[in-house]
Structure 1
Amino acid sequence: MTDPIDHVVQSAEPVLRIVEIFGPTLQGEGVHVGRAAHFLRLAGCNLSCRWCDTAFSWDPAKVDPERPPRTLTTQAILEQLEPRVVNPNEVAPVIRHLVVTGGEPLLQSNMLIELCRQLREFGWFIEIETSGSVSLGALGEVIDQCNVSPKLKHSGVAHRARLRYSVLNEFAGMESVAFKFVVQKPEDLDEIDELLAALSRPIHPSQMWVMAEGNASDVILERSRLLVDEVIARGWGLTPRWHTLLWNDEQGR
């Protein structure tokens, strides 16, 4: 006989702790830079980078009163993104590309599975952004792209917390994965070289992206100019941050 408590837990609808749902806008960085997409930002993070531009998603002291963390069911999120969930006769959205970000979205990976599965049944493309410090698990079966952004020393996060090589090797073994490093100066690229050498799986240069750190367009452009030649020499990609270059830190962009 099924335990009644187990039955309740197993049948409960998945819920997610989120900060905001917005779009369509542009994916501002990485392998799909410039593509139109919707964004789902989840609350909570296991790291605390000193320069984080979305600290409002995990730091209680920086919560934005206009978009505080809240709990939504999978169904409620689906209804905001995909009108055919409510009415199968509705026209499909023109933009069916979802970027799940944070914070660290993989802290809620099990709760994301059903959401991603249903969206893919409606023809959506699902992209996950992560620091690479939390395993993807079964979520990997229901997403299309994973963008892994390991943190460097300048993040201020302890080495043992930000670099879990067993987890990074899992990501390195995926087919649809890109690695994106936030960089402040050219010397940081040497640190990336050391990190890649420590992995047991090679990462092809075409999967490598570097992005200048900064929350203002002039800083992004200045640092990108300093980085570009060294990035090209390694065969990697240099990604902009369109959301910062176009709108700085405007909400919903």
Structure 2
Amino acid sequence: MTDPLAQDVWSAQPALRIVEIFGPTLQGEGASVGQAANFLRLAGCNLSCVWCDTAFSWDPAQEDPERLPTTMTTGEILGRLEPRVDNPAGPAPAVQRLVITGGEPLLQARALTSLCEQLREFGWFIEIETSGSVSPGPLTELVDQYNVSPKLKHSGVAERARLRYSVLNEFAAMMSVVFKFVVQQPEDLNEIDELLKTLSWPVHPARVFVMSEGRTPDMILKGSRLLVDQVVARGWGLTPRWHTLLWNDERGR
């Protein structure tokens, strides 16, 4: 399913389509794994991975009644995250890291610009999780870290949709970018090797992370054990999924 927002990525939007705001909790995966963070999950995606664990954010057939897409203004979202909006003399929140995820959050890049600008003024650290199929556009200089997760063949998505090389090259040239790949079996690592070779900008191994696909602790641990030796041999990082290991993939954690 493709969200209508994907039809015009750059259109001016007075508000954001979201499915949930939650935290503080832990960033469960990637380069900042284990960091305390708040999460903003946006609605809509331009891909439809067969194993997607957040399909409720873009597929009407899998909607979560407790997380139905809704529209919120930047001011409403900011008020949920930053108490100093209403009390400028008050203390800063203990957790000032926001992970913006989806779906595909960069489909709403223009609408996110104002939110990111205001959060940065309050000293927040901003991460965006993206498939790397949509350019960051106006957000390029406003985000502290991009977690770019290109989808491999096992996602079931056509290559022309999941691998937009001009966009991936744009990300590879940015020092704020790390790459994270969801892997089902060790053979998938060869596919990552080939993908990285096609990019115009070299990606240092320290910027590459691999994560085993799975929705249960047993699946994550079993898959990670199969991957670890080959991942380390390449100089990449192997990331867990703390939200799965700690809370069995419970939503809102």
TM class, shorter-chain normalised?
Answer: over 0.9
Number of residue pairs matched?
A: 242
Instruction: Give the TM-score normalised by structure 2.
Output: 0.94
Offset of 1:13 from its aligned partner? Answer: 7.9
- Does structure 1 residue 151 correspond to structure 2 residue 177? no
Offset of 1:77 from its aligned partner? Answer: 0.1
In structure 1, how many angstroms separate the alpha carbons of the residues matched to 2:79 and 2:13?
A: 14
Match of 1:3 in 2: none
In structure 1, how many angstroms separate the alpha carbons of the residues matched to 2:140 and 2:84?
A: 25
Report if the CA contact (8 A) 2:148-2:177 is conserved: yes
Match of 2:180 in 1: 180
Match of 1:58 in 2: 58
- Show CA shifts across 1:100-146 (max 9, x none): 00000000000000000000100100000000000011101111000
Match of 1:7 in 2: none
Counterpart residue identity of residue 178, structure 2: A
SS of the residue corresponding to residue 31 of structure 1 reads: coil
Match of 1:81 in 2: 81
Match of 1:139 in 2: 139
Gaps of 5+ in 1: 1-11
In structure 2, how many angstroms separate the alpha carbons of the residues matched to 1:80 and 1:98?
A: 12
Instruction: Give the TM-score normalised by structure 1.
Output: 0.94
Counterpart residue identity of residue 56, structure 1: F
In structure 2, how many angstroms separate the alpha carbons of the residues matched to 1:187 and 1:14?
A: 45
RMSD: 0.9
Match of 1:239 in 2: 239
Report if the CA contact (8 A) 2:13-2:111 is conserved: no
Report if the CA contact (8 A) 1:185-1:226 is conserved: yes
In structure 1, how many angstroms separate the alpha carbons of the residues matched to 2:111 and 2:189?
A: 35
Offset of 1:176 from its aligned partner? Answer: 1.2
Match of 2:192 in 1: 192
SS of the residue corresponding to residue 119 of structure 1 reads: helix
Match of 2:113 in 1: 113
In structure 2, how many angstroms separate the alpha carbons of the residues matched to 1:239 and 1:132?
A: 19
Counterpart residue identity of residue 136, structure 2: L
Counterpart residue identity of residue 238, structure 1: L
In structure 1, how many angstroms separate the alpha carbons of the residues matched to 2:13 and 2:113?
A: 12
In structure 2, how many angstroms separate the alpha carbons of the residues matched to 1:55 and 1:90?
A: 38
Large movers: runs of 4+ above 3 Å: none
In structure 1, how many angstroms separate the alpha carbons of the residues matched to 2:13 and 2:197?
A: 43
- Identical-pair percentage: 75
Report if the CA contact (8 A) 1:29-1:241 is conserved: yes
Superposed, 1:159-178 pairs within 5 Å as 159-178=159-178
- Does structure 1 residue 90 correspond to structure 2 residue 90? yes
Offset of 1:87 from its aligned partner? Answer: 1.6
Report if the CA contact (8 A) 1:28-1:240 is conserved: yes
In structure 2, how many angstroms separate the alpha carbons of the residues matched to 1:235 and 1:99?
A: 26
Match of 2:214 in 1: 214
In structure 2, how many angstroms separate the alpha carbons of the residues matched to 1:13 and 1:148?
A: 24
In structure 2, how many angstroms separate the alpha carbons of the residues matched to 1:13 and 1:120?
A: 20
Report if the CA contact (8 A) 1:183-1:212 is conserved: yes
Counterpart residue identity of residue 93, structure 2: P
Query: Which deviates more, 165-174 or 80-89?
Result: 80-89
